[in-house]
Amino acid sequence: MTAGSEYPVNQRPLPMVVPEPGLPERVTIYEVGARDGLQNESATIPVEVKEELVRRLLAAGLTTVEATSFVHPRWVPQLADAAELMTRLGDLGTHLPVLVPNERGLDRALELGLRHVAVFGSATETFAQRNLNRSYDEQFAMFEPTVTRALDAGLDVRAYVSMCFGDPWEGAVPIDQVVAAGRRLLDLGASELSLGDTIGTGTPGHVTALVRAFGDAGVGPDRLALHFHDTYGQALGNVQAGLRAGVTTYDASAGGLGGCPYAKSATGNLATEDLVWMLTGLGIEHGVDLDAVVATSTWVAGHLGRPSPSAVVRALGTPRLTPGRR
Ligand code: HMG
Ligand code: MG
């Protein structure tokens, strides 16, 4: 039996594999639990627990594990130990992506020899101000030298754009406004653009329309990633729309950890386990050991003092009747 699961591995339920024609054969899961998840937790998580979390996620087959953020520690105190975490991870940490909002954050990442950074912009004026203390236009002025210097140093740069499907202060966010923000970030030289449904209000038709609009603007699905928060239970439906539109990178967090400290009503990300379950059923390769992630999320939930919101973790990872026994 895997630690954290009531089922012996060979007896627990598994989805039957029934592929849907036309979907990608393989998907990359970009794991954000250690960063997007832990940045929003009120509990103080010791750095050794974060280190073990990252190591366990990598061991579970997640190839891209975003580890932390080099933001101002006053803005996100939960990740104030970023340098210590990356130092403890040593060589393993070098290729893990970290968030950097500005040149100061980049300097801190460069000092540690890190090779992958991500800048994070907003499609809306209000969230740029609240999350970055910059106007919409000023955020690009902050990113421009950051990305240029990162690329000159040979780093890979991902860019996020937040509030792609709605903003808690501004309401609906027009699709062309999102495309304009995304294009500006890609034009700086980012290799991949992650479209954030920061508050989880997106629905599948909206995903289809947004990915198509990026295509019309010359940005194909191969340069996009989708980043869903599951606030309204729409995340998996939205992934399916993304798969049908040809997107092959999905952000997810182990156990559905997460949120954003500067966005009202942002809750956890799409849970990695829920995504893995659906991809497995669709016969799409993902390379992740579901039992190992469930065990990891159950262990983290113990540190946070509350159960995981993931449906799959709840079904597999919490005490329940052994099958066949009432
Ligand atoms: P600011 O207060 O405007 O900073 O914050 P500043 O540029 O005026 O500098 C003030 C002082 O902060 C200076 O120090 C700087 O050196 C220092 P002083 O000269 O006074 O001694 N400073 C820093 N120190 C450490 N690391 C740094 C740094 N930068 C400046 N990087 C800032 C501007 C961008 C720094 C701030 O607003 C910030 O840190 N924001 C981060 C907010 C955040 O992390 N939000 C969560 C991540 S986004 C998210 O979750 C959404 C996402 O998941 C996608 C989705 O769901 O949509 C990605
Ligand atoms: Mg997020």
| Cα 99 to ligand 1 centroid, rounded to whole Å | 10
Percent of the chain's residues with pLDDT above 70:
92
Is residue 325 one of the residues assigned to a domain? no
**Cα 217 to Cα 176: distance, rounded to the nearest angstrom:** 10
Q: Apex CA 225: angle with CA 222 and CA 226, to 5°? A: 135
Looking up residue 84, the CATH number of its domain turns out to be 3.20.20.70
CA 192, 195, 198 angle in degrees (round to 5)? 140
One-letter amino acid of 27: V
Q: Are 272 and 309 in contact (CB under 8 A)?
A: no
Per-residue pLDDT tens for 164-197? 999 999 999 999 999 999 999 999 999 999 999 9
Q: Is residue 103 part of a domain?
A: yes
> What's the pTM?
0.94
The pLDDT tens digits of the residues spanning 211-221 come to 999 999 999 99
Pocket of ligand 1 (CB under 6 A): 36, 39, 69-72, 75-76, 101-102, 104-105, 108, 120, 131-133, 160, 162, 196, 198, 227, 260, 262
Q: Which atom of ligand 1 is nearest to the CA of 69?
A: 44
Residue entry with tokens 């997810």: 252
In a domain, 321, yes or no: no
pLDDT (tens digit per residue) in 50-95: 999 999 999 999 999 999 999 999 999 999 999 999 999 999 999 9
On the question of pLDDT at 310 being above 60, the answer is yes
Ligand closest to the CA atom of residue 195: 1
Which residues form the domain of 57? 28-316
Residue 155 CA from chain centroid, whole number:
20
How many beta carbons lie within 10 A of that of residue 52, not counting itself? 16
Give a yes or no: residue 5 inside a domain: no
Is the pLDDT at 6 greater than 60, yes or no?
no
Tell me the residues surrounding ligand 2 (ion) with CB < 5 Å: 36
In a domain, 1, yes or no: no
Cα–Cα dist 276/289, whole Å:
9
Residue 322 lies in a domain: no
Tally of structural domains, the chain: 1
Residue 189 is assigned to a structural domain of this protein: yes
- Kindly state the helix (H) or strand (E) to which residue 120 belongs, with its residue range: strand 116-122
274 lies in a domain?
Answer: yes
